[in-house]
Chains A and B, each alone.
Chain A
Amino acid sequence: MSQGVHIRHGLVVDPANDIHEQRDVFIANGKIISVSQQAPDHFNADTVIDAKGCIVCPGLVDISARLREPGQESKATIDSETQAAVAGGITSICCPPDTHPVIDTPAVANLIHDKANALGRASVYTLGALTHGLDGASLSEMGSLKAVGCVGVSNAYAPLKNNLILRHAMEYAASHDLVVHLHAEDADLRNNGCVHEGQISTRLGLAGNPAAAETVAVGQILALIEQIGVKAHFCRLSTARAVQMIARAQYSGLQVSADVSAHQLHLTDMDIGYFNSHCHVSPPLRSLRDREGLRAGLSKGTINIICSDHQPHEADAKLAPFAITEPGMSGLETLLPLSLRLVNEGIIELMPLIAALTSQPAQLLGINAGTLTAGAPADVCIYDPEHEWQLDSTTLRSRGHNTPMMYWQFLGRVTHTLCRGQIAFQLDSAP
């Protein structure tokens, strides 16, 4: 055996195998050999990582992070953002199709996959465009996109022209067994709104994006899914009402799942304060009631995935009056600490939380990741749950410093990240 890694004395949390106890993890040739008390026969450890007091879990799978490459390298690159990802314990990233050019041809998908492979850090997967150029009108060549490894299809934030196109796109995707990732938002009702319609939009005089922009779209999509019987995944839910609608649909047997971004589980429109453009995100930060609804949806399992919704920007993108700043926040490095806060606040147990960050997203994407099963790629995240740290420009590795959580204190920090058995990240102060 070569390149053996022995992670010892850690508390292993592997939801896919229902393991939550102190065990050692043995890795060789980039794969998990075993998770057990004793080393397998003939195992030679080249590297020993002492994970005493730490949690050892599968590397995180982030189903939505924009790496900005190709097309917007002034904001970030695959190189810069995969470094940020592994610093946040993320070993698999799924990149939405709204790059420039759009991921609607095998060439663009290949470009991203090849660059990421050459770097050898986090694995990067792609969602193909649902419509050609995200025009919302003509279907993309989904069969070809699937053939080069796209793990789903999406129209990102771009609206579809009408429900007939949506129906055809979902049916066509289903014939290729591709899951459609849908941003449920009625573009007309949104009406250029940049913050949640309510007390804050009224006070600040900012155009409001009503909760109904999401719920009307969710209602229409659910009606279509019921009619045509396809699988679908709702991206970045933001309203309590949408969570209830999806829970009811799941109860009645529809194959729908949903995710939420980590920041939506913590921030509300109150955090906008006086026009803090770092809180300009899409969908917008909503009311406290909505946030509680999203948290309840997560704890009940209606929402089964938490993602970073990472959208790095250069500083200028946020230096303007609120409405004309670019939406989105940098999130790779706050995904795990923000999620761990939910455990500390009693919203969710650690095991289902780690599942929402690892096995559940891996299952949605249909990728061999998010587990410590013997034979799986050795993507591992080790974090110290007692490590207190502060997010600031010295700790942040992403090129995007656009986060309203700058100077927040967090409990729980990644000490090591392994990608296919290689140490891709090691905290300086780690033993």
Chain B
Amino acid sequence: MKQRHLQLDHDKRLRHFLTIEGLKRDLLVEILDTAESFTGVSHQQVKKVPLLRGKTVVNLFFEASTRTRTTFELAAKRLSADVLNINVPASATNKGETLLDTLRNLEAMHCDMFIVRHQNSGAAHFIAEHCAPHISVLNAGDGRHAHPTQAMIDMFTIRRHKQEFHNLSVAIVGDIMHSRVARSQIHALSTLGVPDIRVIGPRTLIPANADTLGVHVYHDLSQGLQGVDVIIMLRLQRERMSSALLPSEHEYFRLYGLTKEKLALAKNNVIVMHPGPINRGVEMDSSVADGEHSVILQQVSHGISIRMAVMSMTMGPRGVRHPKHTQQSELKT
């Protein structure tokens, strides 16, 4: 089946980055290692490496985003690529131009990579299946399906603090149902060997048969946080209240908001993460968001390294696949 290997080329190297699902542990570790080698670039006088010089990267965003788009843009620029930002509001595609038409038009401009965010699950797969063969597609979030670079940022952050994955308990708290980030995190955590992945939330926000993803489901925050090493809080969208999934923000915070008291149930060296932006007083108390266990801002800065890693692995010269021999020597000079 051609679809099964859509993300990989003949040499099993990354061609597109659409979802974590189906990727091998070694490849995820390679992404983390490559990102590690890029962290130095941001601290150089000249914050650039020439790996993607002459390449054109298109940020193709069908859904509003500031942070994700900005870090992708920065990552591309640090790799010396040319960047084109195209925001396609939903209304433009409603005017009759299909997604495929938009794609064909951009292809005609001889771009090398599409970084795609779209409100529909499967959009990045669709684009990868239908675009010209020389183009790489990076999924920057499709519907409720996947947000693989965000998940890898979180894995990177976890690895920096915990070194290993095989002995961790990780809790993901909140709106799992509608979260592409949670789905990608779950795949990444289980591929990297985390033995205990928990999802915590009311039944209205936990998808059907969630256990088949390989997670333990909790509806009680205090129970779910017992002894965990990592807590990932998810953002709660306001519209969950209007669609009768939750009664109020107040009740949500009381039951699922992360406070210092709840945090005390986890391990002493627990880290608290959030893909942002935070609703303070809804998902977590400010004292936790800004507290000693919070690594939220580190996640943001790791965003650039991870995105540089994925871009260079999918699009860079083949030698770049082994960053230890290339970028690192470059960084030392």
- Interfacial residues, chain A to chain B (CB-CB below 8 A): 197-199, 201-208, 210, 273-276, 316, 319-324
Contact = CB atoms under 8 A, between A and B. Distances in A.
Given A273-B3, A320-B98, A202 B120 contact: no
26 contacts: A198-B209, A199-B208, A199-B212, A202-B207, A203-B21, A203-B212, A204-B121, A205-B142, A205-B144, A205-B145, A206-B143, A208-B208, A273-B1, A274-B122, A274-B125, A319-B99, A319-B126, A320-B120, A321-B120, A321-B126, A321-B143, A322-B120, A322-B122, A322-B126, A323-B122, A323-B143
A321 B118 contact: yes
A210 B145 CA distance: 18
A208 to B, nearest CB: 6
A202 B122 contact: no
B142 to A, nearest CB: 7
Nearest to B183: A205
Interface in B102-117: none
Contacts, number: 81
Contacts of B3: 273-274, 276
B145 A204 contact: yes
Nearest to A324: B120
Contacts of B99: 319-321
Nearest to A201: B208
B120 A319 contact: no
B207 A275 contact: no
Interface string B128-143: 0010000000000011
Contact of B121 (A198, A273, A322): A322
Given A205-B143, A319-B126, 16 more contacts: A198-B209, A202-B207, A203-B183, A203-B212, A203-B213, A204-B122, A205-B183, A207-B144, A275-B126, A320-B100, A321-B122, A321-B126, A322-B120, A322-B122, A323-B120, A323-B121
Contact of A205 (B121, B126, B210): B121
A210 B208 contact: yes
Interface residues of B, number: 29
Residue of A206, A275, A323 most packed against chain B (CB within 10 A): A275
A197 B208 contact: yes
A410 B145 CA distance: 35
Contacts of A202: 207-210, 212-213
Contacts of B126: 275, 319-322
Contacts of B6: 274
Given A198-B208, A205-B146, A319 B122 contact: no
Contact of A319 (B4, B21, B98): B98
B180 interface: yes
Contact of B142 (A210, A276, A316, A321): A321
Nearest to B119: A321
Nearest to A319: B100
Interface string B169-199: 0000000000010010000000000000000
A430 B70 CA distance: 65
Contacts of B143: 205-206, 321, 323
Contact of B207 (A201, A276, A320, A321): A201
Contacts of B120: 320-324
Contacts of A321: 99, 118, 120-123, 125-126, 142-143
A320 B209 CA distance: 27
Nearest to B126: A321
Nearest to A316: B98
Contact of B209 (A199, A206, A275): A199
Nearest to A206: B121
Nearest to B145: A205
Contacts of B98: 316, 319-320
Contacts of A207: 144
Interface string B205-229: 0011110110000000000000000
A206 to B, nearest CB: 5
- Considering the complex of A and B, which 5 residue pairs feature the smallest CB-CB distances, nearest first? A205-B144, A205-B145, A275-B122, A321-B120, A202-B207
A319 B98 CA distance: 9
Contacts of A205: 121, 142-146, 180, 183
Contacts of A273: 1, 3
Nearest to A210: B208
Nearest to A274: B3
B11 to A, nearest CB: 21
A206 B118 CA distance: 13
A194 B244 CA distance: 20
Given A320-B98, A321-B143, A275 B208 contact: no
